[in-house]
Amino acid sequence: MNLTTTILMLVGMWLSIAAAMLWGVLRIVHRRHRSHQLPSEATPDTSTPAQRHHARV
């Protein structure tokens, strides 16, 4: 295997690992962002504080 092929393989492996890490981070951020939506002002929250605490995950 010559030097050019080795360098291209290393760069390709680095790009694939970076893309996988970025995909994982974006997936976690997207999941956390959706869970922090504020309840609408039209419906008042009638649950007790203990129920609200257990509902947030």
pLDDT single digits (tens) 1-48:
899 999 999 999 999 999 999 999 999 888 877 655 555 665 656 666
Give Dmax over CA atoms of the chain in angstroms. 70
pTM: 0.50
- What is the span of the domain harbouring residue 20? 1-30
Tracing tokens 């504080």 back to the chain, one arrives at: 49
Q: Please indicate, yes or no, if residue 10 is contained in any of the structural domains.
A: yes
- Would residue 14 count as lying in a domain? yes
Based on the structure, what is the number of domains in the chain?
1
Q: Output the CA–CA distances (angstroms, integers) from residue 52 to 31, 35, 45, 46, in the order listed.
A: 19, 13, 9, 10
**What is the pLDDT at residue 31?**
83
